[in-house]
Amino acid sequence: NEGALWGGRFAGGPSPELQALSRSTHFDWQLALYDIRGSHAHTTALAAAGYLTAEEAERMHAGLDALAEGVRSGRIQPRAADEDVHGALETALLAEVGAELGGRLRAGRSRNDQIATLIRLYLIDHASVIARELVQLVDALVAQADAHPAAILPGRTHLQHAQPVLLAHHLQAHGWPLVRDLERLRDWRTRAGVSPYGGGALAGSTLGLDPELVARELGLDRPAENSMDGTAARDVVAEFAYITAQIGIDLSRLAEEIILWNTREFGFVTLDDGYSTGSSIMPQKKNPDIAELARGKSGRLIGNLAGLLATLKALPLAYNRDLQEDKEPVFDSIATLEVLLPAFTGMVATLRFDTERMASLAPQGFSLATDVAEWLVKQRVPFRDAHEISGALVRACEERGIGLEDASDELLAEVSAHLTPAVREVLTIEGSVASRTGVGGTAPERVAEQRAQLVSRTQSA
Ligand code: ARG
C-alpha cells in the first residue's frame, strides 16, 4: 500500500473498488496549501516540545516551503494511489526531506483533527471574499438609489399596487438583507476561529504539544475546548452553508423583481447589453439571464445546505468517514457565489430605470386610498369609518372609470361630508410620499437617513 498513511496491520493492499470510492483528492486538493500551513505550525509545536531539533525543524520548514511552491506551480499533483490530500502531501514531503525526517511530522496529529482545522481555514478565507463581493453589491444598490433620488415606484404587496414609494427606498430595502448576511459572516467567524489541531483522532495527545501555539500560528483564536467535539463537529460548516443559501435567497428575491421589471408589461428597467443575453432563434430577444441564474442557483445553494444537514444528522461521536461529505457541497456553494455575485453586481450597477414609466403607473390602482383614509383620521374621523369612506370613494371612482385625483367636489361630498376639497392635498404621489415621515418610511428625509445607516452598517460588518 505504497504512499498510504496506514497499512502496518494489513496483510494485503486495498481493492481497486475501495480506492475508487475512498479517494478524495479530486476535491480536497483545494486544501493542499492549508494542509501545508498546518504542517508548518505543527513543526513549530513539535520543535517547541523537543521532538525536533532546531536544525530538523528548519529543514522541515524548508521542505514544506518547497511543497507549497510545488503545489502552486502544479509540479506536485496527487497520484491515483493517494487516498487524500494528507497522504499525497506526506509522500511529497518524504521525497523532499527524506523518510527519516519526513516520518516525524505525523506525531501527535491525525487526519481527523487536521481536516477539521483545514476546512475552517478555507472557509474563513472564502468568507472574506464573499463579504467583499457583498459589499460591492450593496454599494451598487446605494449608487442606483443615489442616482434616482426623486424617482417614484408603485410599491406592491401581493404583487398588487399598494402605495407609492421612492425607488431609493425600494433599492435600499434590498440592501438590508445583504447587510445582515455580512453581519452573519462576521458572527460566524467568532465560532469558526477554533483550532481542533492536536486533538488527534479524538482523544487528545500524550506528547505535550502546545495547541495554543498551533492555533496562533494558524491565525485562529484558540484551541478547541474538547478534542472529540473538535474533530467531529461540522456545525461550523453547516452554518456557513446556511449563510451562503440565505445570500442566494436574498439575491433571488431581487432577481425575480428585475426579471419582472424587465418585461414589456412592466417596462421599468433596461438591462445593459454586457449583462444580458440574446436568443439563438429570436433576433429581438434580450434576456435577463444573470437574474434567472441567480434565481436558479439559489435552489442549488439550498440543496447543498440540505444535503450537508442530512449527512450530519444522527452521526455518532467522534469522527466518521461520512464527514468527508462535508466538503463538496460547501465548496460548490462558495464557487457558485463567487462567480454569481460579481455578475449580479454588474447587472445591478448598469440597470437603466425608466423613471417616467414608473411614475406614470404609481397612481394607478388607487394607490392613494390609504392617504385619503389617514387624512380623514387627521380630521378626527375614526379609522374604521375613514377606511369605509375611502373605500367607498374608490368604488365610486372605479364605477366612473376615473382616478381618485379626478373626483369632483360634488362626488367627494356625495361619498361623505368629511371629504372636503382639502383632501386633494394628499392626492398627489409626491405629497403622499413626502408625508410618510414615520421611522423607516418612504419620505425623502427618512430614506436619506436609511441610506446613511445602511452604508455605516456595511462598513462595520
Ligand atoms: N478525508 C477525510 C475527510 O475529509 C479525512 C481523513 C480521515 N480519514 C480517516 N480514515 N480517519 O474527512
**Ligand 1 centroid distance, CA of 227 (Å):** 16
234 lines ligand 1 (CB under 6 A): no
Helix residue ranges, H only, 148-272: 167-192, 211-217, 227-232, 235-261
Confidence category of residue 1, pLDDT binned at 50, 70, 90 = low
Ligand 1 proximity of 324 Cβ (cutoff 6 Å): yes
Strand, helix or coil for residue 20: helix
For residue 318, say if its preceding peptide bond is cis, omega within 30 degrees of 0. Answer: yes
Do residues 78 and 29 touch, judged by C-beta distance below 8 A? yes
Fold annotation for 361-460:
Ribonucleotide Reductase Protein R1; domain 1 (1.10.40)
Question: Which of 227-231, 269-273, 431-435 is the least confident region?
Answer: 431-435
Distances 185 to 236, 239, 411, 460 between C-alpha atoms, Å: 11, 9, 57, 12
**Catalytic site positions:** 158, 279
Instruction: Answer for the pair 198, 113: CB distance below 8 angstroms, yes or no.
Output: yes
The secondary structure element, H or E, covering residue 164 is strand 160-166
| Per-residue pLDDT reduced to its tens digit, 93-152 | 999 999 999 999 999 999 999 999 999 999 999 999 999 999 999 999 999 999 999 999
CATH topology for 16-107 is: Fumarase C; Chain B, domain 1 (1.10.275)
pLDDT above 90: residue 461: no
Q: Rounded to whole angstroms, how far apart are CA atoms 402 and 406? A: 6
Residue nearest to atom 3 of ligand 1 (CA): 324
Position 5 confidence tier, pLDDT thresholds 50, 70, 90: confident
User: What are the helix (H) ranges across 313-443?
Assistant: 327-349, 355-361, 369-378, 383-400, 409-415, 429-435
From the number of C-beta atoms within 10 Å of its C-beta (0-12, 13-18, 19+), residue 6 rates as: exposed
Atom of ligand 1 nearest to the CA of 116: 12
Q: CA-to-CA distance for 165 and 104, rounded, in angstroms?
A: 68
Atom 6, ligand 1: which residue's CA is nearest? 111
Residues of the chain with CATH 1.10.275.10: 16-107
Ligand 1 site, residue 111, Cβ cutoff 6 A: yes
Which residues 6+ apart lie within 8 Å of 217 measured at CB?
40, 41, 44, 45
Residue showing cell 497520484: 79
> Among residues 167, 129, 143, which one has the least CA distance to residue 444?
167
Strand 194-195 relative to strand 222-223, pairing: parallel
Kind and range of the H or E element at 428? none
Ligand 1 in contact with 30 (CB < 6 A)?
A: no
User: How high is the pLDDT of residue 182?
Assistant: 98
The residue with cell 523532499 is 96
User: Can you name the residues that pair with 195 across neighbouring β-strands?
Assistant: 223
Higher pLDDT, 398 or 5: 398
Instruction: State ipTM.
Output: 0.95
With the most atoms of ligand 1 within 8 angstroms of its CB, the residue from 237, 321, 330 to mutate is: 321
pLDDT above 80: residue 380: yes
CATH 1.20.200.10 domain residues, the chain: 113-354
Q: Is it true that domain 113-354 has CATH number 1.20.200.10?
A: yes
Pocket test for ligand 1, best of 123, 319, 328 (most atoms within 8 A of CB): 319
Q: How far apart are alpha carbons 393 and 425 in whole angstroms?
A: 16
Protein residue closest via CA to atom 11 of ligand 1: 112
C-alpha cell at position 385: 369609518
Q: Does the pLDDT of residue 433 top 90, yes or no?
A: yes
Contact of 241 with 330, CB cutoff 8 Å = yes
C-alpha cell at 292: 434567472
- DSSP designation for 157: E
Question: Which ligand 1 atom lies nearest to the CA of residue 83?
Answer: 1
Hey, is 32 helix, strand or coil?
Answer: helix
134 lines ligand 1 (CB under 6 A): no
Residue extent(s) of CATH 1.10.40.30 domains in the chain: 361-460
